[in-house]
Amino acid sequence: MAQIGVARLLELIDTHVHLADVRFAADLPEVLFRARDAGVVQFVCVGYDIESSAEAIKLSSTFPDIVAAVGIHPNRSGDALPGTLRELDLLSQSHAVVAIGECGLDYYRNTEPPDVQTEAFIAQLRMAETRGLPVIVHSRDAMEQTLDLIEKFNPGRRGVLHCFDGTVADVSRAVSLGFWISAAGQVTYRRDRTLAEALASVPADRLVIETDCPYLSPAGHRGERNEPSRVRLVADAVAAIRGCSVEELAAQTTANARRLFGKA
């Protein structure tokens, strides 16, 4: 009980969840209850195609503490045809939408050709600029190319590199471009000095946290469906890396998320 009481003193925002995923279909109210009990006060439900983006908006109308992001994931970028992009733009005009994304480049899986990914990413960067929204960016094995496109097509606009896995130099460049850095569950199980040094270098006002649930379950829960309640475990790990209390980390990242997303 003491631990639950402490958790309730914290206010956490999970800046990247996929609550429209079928794995939450049977028990979403219970999942949200556990998260709220752990101190989560807001969820940014992120789309990766038209269907999941529309469902994120729908969830926000049912649950007041959910806000939506709409986008096409780089692994779905072959679907980013003109008609689909027009549909995405219409979705982006919902009052529930706080960001465009997730979008970006993924050269790890490489399920879509790089030029197709690039075209879809540029279209969404331009959409974000037109709509005055930040972007939620997915970048895997493509950090330099991702930041090059942001610099060229989205200069000075807010955004976040979700599930960050880069270097101190990447942090510096991203921050100079107006971006936030988001830490996810891999910080709890990767003994990666490069990532730890990078997260330690993030300016205090540019750091947010996420679960990326149902993916990336933290240490002790790997192989399980991830849940937003476990963002507290991410907060604990990042606080340890940065040498601050989890209370300080929670207060700072929650304020940062609200500033980044406006409505969050």
Q: Domain spans of the chain?
A: 2-261
∠ at Cα 234 (2, 140), nearest 5°?
170
Q: Which DSSP letter does residue 217 get?
A: P
Asked if the bond preceding 102 is cis, omega within 30° of 0, the reply is: yes
DSSP per-residue codes, 7-70:
HHH--EEEEEE-TTSGGGTTTHHHHHHHHHHTTEEEEEEE-SSHHHHHHHHHHHHH-TTEEEEE
> How far apart are the C-alpha atoms of 22 and 259, rounded to whole Å?
30
Neighbours of 92 (CB within 10 A): 22
Region for 18 from its dihedrals, namely left if φ exceeds 0, alpha if ψ lies in -120 to 50, beta otherwise? beta
Least Cα distance to 218 among 205, 231, 203 occurs for 231
Full pLDDT tens readout for the chain, 264 residues: 334 444 457 999 999 999 999 999 999 999 999 999 999 999 999 999 999 999 999 999 999 999 999 999 999 999 999 999 999 999 999 999 999 999 999 999 889 999 999 999 999 999 999 999 999 999 999 999 999 999 999 877 899 999 999 999 999 999 999 999 999 999 998 677 899 999 999 999 999 999 999 999 998 898 899 999 999 999 999 999 999 999 999 999 999 999 999 855
Token couple for 38 = 């752990």
What CATH code would you report for 2-261?
3.20.20.140
- Cβ neighbors of 16 (< 8 A, separation 6 or more) are 44, 46, 102, 136, 162, 163, 182, 184, 210, 211, 212
- Beta partners for residue 61, in sequence order: none
For the entire predicted model, the pTM comes to: 0.94
What is the C-alpha separation between 122 and 99, in angstroms, rounded?
15
